[in-house]
Structure 1
Amino acid sequence: MLVGYMRVSKTDGSQSTDLQRDALLLAGVDADHLYEDHASGKKDDRPQLAACLKALRDGDTLLVWKLDRLGRDLRHLVNTVHDLTDRGIGLKVLTGEGAAIDTTTASGKLVFGIFAALAEFERALISERTIAGLTAARARGRKGGRPYKMTAAKVRTAMAAMGQKETKVGDLCKELGITRQTLYRHVSPSGKLRPDGSKVLTNREKPTPDHSR
């Protein structure tokens, strides 16, 4: 089955997904299998993308108009596609610089492999800069603090995901970038909010640190 995802944001200069919709329909996606978000690509909370990814099944193919419709950044994009691949789901990009990506074909997988390598390179650079920054800070008598992990958007995503029996806790933690201990401290296995999760939702400016690391 073909499933399409569309997104429009203020940075597009347009608030319409008509062009994306027409392209996806022309590519063979049924109108009932289209998902649409109206949000910034940097925004964590994209409910229709979450619903789209959850609805996909082994053998399905996800179609997007352009590559930037799907991922917030390169790392998020690579993680998303790796998850789809592990689930037996293909990805096809219709136009733009990522149009060569079609993970249902050998050549398309090769192109995405290049993207994955670039993402790994990006992570290595970030790690090097972080270590260099901490070293410089210590030299000036400052110490780096523990990074904050849980956000309001992650708590809401965890609540929705944990309420679904098909959710794999390990995959969810990987996607959210948290440990199992952090997840269960904020949300119960059934998706109910726990005290730490309530604190995050009621005080977004002060997210709770990941003490389990």
Structure 2
Amino acid sequence: MIFGYARVSTHLQSLDSQIDALKKFGCMKIYEEKLSGKRKDRPELKELLKVLRKGDTVVVYKLDRISRSTKHLIELIDFFQEKEVNFVSLQENIDTTSSMGKFIFRIFAAVAEMERDIIVERTKEGLNAARARGRVGGRPKVSEEDIKTAITLYRSNNFTVQEIVKKTNVARSTLYKYLMVYK
């Protein structure tokens, strides 16, 4: 049987293009996941791995859809080989039924991990450069006094939430969060 696995990192993203490509390839069952690839606990991937039998094929749109690290990809390929399951990545034209496909897979896996590591390094460098210039990431801290003022204004019923946000610099979500706490 030919199984597909499609994954995006957030619920806001769409699986449509992956699913279309997997169906076009001939996948009979597609496991869909909307979770970060960094997460090890991915229920749909676990379920897919449970149902695999000798002779089955697992198809993904791209390597980074099934895993984010070379180590995990290699573990998966080793698992597939042990179970005598084939693996296909459509975008990278990898098919592990051939020795060349296995070789190319390992090269692409290493390149994919390197690319991710470079992105992480650049992000850290950018954050460090911003900190050196006095900028700090994250949401601005709000004083307890501002939060109390915002709650008082809200409970007075004289101001809209938008007006309260402008007057106190307390974000709408923060205001609602503290309103739940201070009922």
TM-score of the two chains, using structure 2 as the length reference: 0.56
Letter in 2 for 1:15: Q
**2:25 alignment partner, one of 5, 24, 27:** 27
Match of 1:5 in 2: 5
CA distance in 1, matches of 2:52, 2:40: 20
Match of 2:59 in 1: 63
Note the C-alpha offset of 1:58.
Answer: 0.5
Letter in 2 for 1:5: Y
Note the C-alpha offset of 1:44.
Answer: 1.8
CA contact (8 A) 1:101 1:108 kept: yes
Letter in 1 for 2:77: V
Match of 1:106 in 2: 99
Note the C-alpha offset of 1:112.
Answer: 2.5
Match of 1:16 in 2: 14
Note the C-alpha offset of 1:71.
Answer: 1.0
**2:32 alignment partner, one of 23, 27, 36:** 36
Q: Tell me which stretches of 4 or more aligned residues in structure 1 moved more than 3 Å.
A: 113-116
CA distance in 1, matches of 2:105, 2:22: 21
Letter in 1 for 2:94: I
2:87 matched to 1:91? yes
Q: Which structure has greater helix proportion? A: 2
SS at match of 2:102: helix
CA distance in 2, matches of 1:72, 1:50: 16
CA contact (8 A) 1:78 1:115 kept: no
Note the C-alpha offset of 1:104.
Answer: 1.2
Letter in 2 for 1:2: I
Note the C-alpha offset of 1:106.
Answer: 2.8
TM-score of the two chains, using structure 1 as the length reference: 0.49
CA gap 1:66/1:113 in 2 versus in 1, 3 angstroms: closer
SS at match of 2:95: coil
Aligned length: 112
Note the C-alpha offset of 1:72.
Answer: 2.9
CA contact (8 A) 2:6 2:19 kept: yes
SS at match of 2:53: coil
After TM superposition, list the pairs within 5 Å mapping 1:75-154 onto structure 2: 75-95=71-91, 99-114=92-107, 118=110
**1:47 alignment partner, one of 36, 43, 48:** 43
CA contact (8 A) 2:77 2:87 kept: yes
Q: What percent of counterpart residues are identical?
A: 44
Match of 2:70 in 1: 74
